[in-house]
Amino acid sequence: MGKLNREALAHYLSTGFEKKKAADAAQVKDWEVIGDDIEEMSVEMNPDTETMKNILGQTKTTDNGYEPSMEADPFYADPDKNLYKTLRDIALERKKGADCKTLMLEVIVDGLEEENYLAFVQEVIVKPNSYGGGTEGVNIPFTVSEDGERVKGYVTKDSLESGSPTFTAGSPGL
């Protein structure tokens, strides 16, 4: 098959910001894909480890897991997109806490012949980093940080191709 093209990994945000839980992801119908104007975007894992060398010369590492986050930059304002309206309100109204919480859907398409694709839904906090920008347009770059439960499941090929992915928790049967 060779290496995966970047479009094989897609990130969606639920634009309603209705304080849904990851367990409720099957009912989400307002997924909006991130990436229209972005040339590069990665989930930064931010591993949390501590290394200590004791008096015996032994190295001990404490692994506290990860603190993943993702930067979406640029994100140009498009009044036709629900995500823009939500980001605008968070930034201009200086919202915080639960008002910035939503769900993120990650989908990896690594087998084109499959009927179901591996996916995860994660509770996240979305925070604009700034707003304004240059002559290219109004830019509202934002950070997505994990904040709660993560659920493994899948989306169907048909739902993904329709632009309205439908998440189902459980084994994708891959």
For residue range 101-154, list pLDDT tens digits in order. Answer: 999 999 999 987 789 999 999 999 999 999 999 999 999 999 999 999 999 999
E-strand spans in 3-141? Answer: 9-14, 31-33, 43-44, 47-53, 59-66, 69-72, 101-108, 116-128
Query: Which of 64-68, 115-119, 169-173 has the least mean pLDDT?
Result: 169-173
Q: Does residue 174 form part of some domain?
A: no
Q: How many domains does the chain divide into?
A: 1
The pTM for the full model equals 0.92
* Structural domain for 81, as ranges: 6-37+53-169
Q: Does residue 42 form part of some domain?
A: no
Q: Does residue 43 form part of some domain?
A: no
Q: Does residue 25 form part of some domain?
A: yes
Beta strands 47-53; 43-44: pairing state: unpaired
Q: Does residue 47 form part of some domain?
A: no
Q: Does residue 104 form part of some domain?
A: yes
